Structure 1
Amino acid sequence: MVHCQETACTAVLQQPCGHEVCRSHAGCAVQVADLLVWHPDNREAYIIAVAGVEVPISPAIKSASLATLKTWVGGFGRNVKAKQPYILAEEICSLFYPNAKMSAAVASDVAAPIIARIREETRAFPEDLVDLGKDVLGDVAAINLDVEPMVVNSTGQGRVVS
């Protein structure tokens, strides 16, 4: 059982999905009128962006990351009344739930200025994150580290590493 780490919050996270705070205190929670809806924070936007492009990441890791994120987003849906939106962007809603009714997403005309403000504040766009991901993965590959396992010999007086 995981408790929200936000001061004075007593919420228990049933499905924390790697988060240390409840959905109300998460950086991906956006208040729209009287609703708390989900919009990806930088880390989540990176997962979404990488899932849609060809980068040297295991398909199993991509799939597991998206499944975990989908579980987290689904939790926002459980916290709203029926036919109320719980995802800010229609494009992202259709990515996660291709057959879902668009009532799961905030209407575009309401969401657009909110998304623009979020992008301005965070200065991170999924397109930028994809390029950053490719650059980072390329840099790591270029380092060409020797990944041979380290052999440890015990001599009784500590370790000798060869």
Structure 2
Amino acid sequence: MFDGFEEFDISTTGASVHGCRGGSGPPLLLLHGIPETHLMWHRVAPHLAERYTVVATDLRGYGDSGKPPSTADHEPYSKRAIGSDQIEVMRELGYDQFSLVGHDRGARCSYRLALDHPDAVLQLAVMDVVPVGDAYNRADKDFASSTGNGRSSPRQNRPRNSSSTRHRPIWSTSCSTLGPR
């Protein structure tokens, strides 16, 4: 599936991480979302490998990566712990700095990794995830009412299961609107 890529298993402080690496150029780490594994990148990675050294891993708890026992606070599966695994993998592969792309859960782990290791992450791209800070900062009464999920939502004037109330996005925006309000 990843022609020209080499598979690896690297032991980190918290778990064994499975992945693959291929291509040449600046290093680029790809982190998958839920419920995928590194295999989700199989159509994109070969194209990226024409310009980058692509590293795609299974996050801890997914695919062929280790699945350490959890704890009461779930710390072994925190975004910080998963991000630390990825830093260790990239350093083991010889990359102290790299670009990072995360999808869904991988995006959340990417945020944390970039915050904890700003000198390691040269560029960050996240996909299919709402920026947490923006979501919380904008989650006011109007936002709750517009989603149809607020308890005080003025839905009583609309039919309960009409097409106008079903399939309404909870968050719909473009990057240009994510700036200051």
- Where is the strand percentage greater, Structure 1 or Structure 2? 2
Structure possessing the higher radius of gyration over alpha carbons: 1
Q: Same fold (TM over 0.5)?
A: no
TM-score, length-normalised on structure 1?
0.34
